[in-house]
A and B are shown apart, each in its own frame.
Chain A
Amino acid sequence: GDLGPFNPGLPVEVPLWLAINLKQRQKCRLLPPEWMDVEKLEKMRDHERKEETFTPMPSPYYMELTKLLLNHASDNIPKADEIRTLVKDMWDTRIAKLRVSADSFVRQQEAHAKLDNLTLMEINTSGTFLTQALNHMYKLRTNLQPLESTQSQDF
């Protein structure tokens, strides 16, 4: 859509790509999103560590946003290093939970699992391995039923 006109000194909402581009051309100053604050992230991280299931994340793209903003605009974000560490802690906790959940899923050979509040990044990181392992397991499981005699060619 159309954007602007931009008046200097007034906060304005623009798409992320434009914000990064303007920042690279040194034409703007980025304001951190509301959730990117040290106390809030600390609370979220502790909450995530206590809970066994996944807690809702501030944004479905929190990893990507953190990476882009901290790489291009770390001077505009207070305590950028701490934020980077906190987000990485949350990521590690969630990935560990995902692994535990995958392991118990395989061990009990369940057919269906529901995981709430997973972001796309986490799914993509562990997804390929899990689907391939489950494929193998499925094939091994179907071997449990007696094999029907294959139609071999009769000479």
Chain B
Amino acid sequence: MSEAYFRVESGALGPEENFLSLDDILMSHEKLPVRTETAMPRLGAFFLERSAGAETENAVPQGSKLELPLWLAKGLFDNKRRILSVELPKIYQEGWRTVFSADPNVVDLHKMGPHFYGFGSQLLHFDSPENADISQSLLQTFIGRFRRIMDSSQNAYNEDTSALVARLDEMERGLFQTGQKGLNDFQCWEKGQASQITASNLVQNYKKRKFTDMED
């Protein structure tokens, strides 16, 4: 049962995202509230409600609040902070952090931003003074939810798992799938399917193709 192609895994949890990873691309597209420190000429055409008007060449004035995707905010952010200053989204702030530390299992992480852990880890690049607390909170939330993910993924064989997975964020869903795969492989072995030869998915279509060749 080997895969036909290997996906590039997400690097979002680590120091830098992987350029080619689809998960990272999706994650990076999430929006981040941001405040401009300098005026941006001619960008007012995109943000009509914030622009200073046609006279000043449609500039976005200094100090206006925008919502930019993460990849754009990361690119524009600079240590000397000339262009942007980033505000932390609510779920990474003090209030929600206490909620997470109280009971991590109750929270619906999918609603909070389906890429909670990845986005949070990349947020640390913006040098906020709360970085240490954010990373600690991410870690503790993960540890708290680990047990439930493990139990639910290893025991739900051949059932509809959508109710179990609904509150997990993307990274946790990946973990859940690994657990399910382990379970399925074990059951496969028990049933004896492991020693039967089955046609690979790549080869199953060959017969169909031959048909069309003959018709031509």
Contact = CB atoms under 8 A, between A and B. Distances in A.
Given A136-B171, A143-B135, A129 B182 contact: yes
B190 interface: yes
Chain A contact-residue range equals: 20 to 34
A71 B190 CA distance: 11
A107 B146 CA distance: 9
B140 to A, nearest CB: 9
Contacts of A107: 143, 146-147
Given A71-B192, A103-B146, A143-B135, A128 B182 contact: yes
Interface in A100-155: 102-103, 106-107, 109, 125-129, 132-133, 136-137, 139-144, 146-147, 149-150
A67 interface: yes
Contact of A139 (B79, B121, B143, B147): B121
A129 B143 contact: no
A103 B147 contact: yes
A129 B15 CA distance: 23
Given A103-B146, A129-B150, A129-B179, A150 B15 contact: yes
A99 interface: yes
Given A129-B178, A140-B117, A146 B143 contact: no
Say what secondary structure dominates the interface of chain A: helix
A132 B125 CA distance: 24
B14 A144 contact: no
Contacts of B124: 143, 147
Interface residues of B, number: 35
Contacts, number: 81
Contact of B151 (A99, A141, A149): A99
A99 B192 contact: no
For the complex of A and B, list the 4 residue pairs with the smallest distance between their C-beta atoms, beginning with the closest.
A139-B13, A143-B135, A129-B179, A140-B139
Contacts of B45: none
A149 B138 CA distance: 21
B135 A106 contact: no
A99 B182 CA distance: 14
A128 B181 contact: yes
Contacts of A132: 174-175, 178
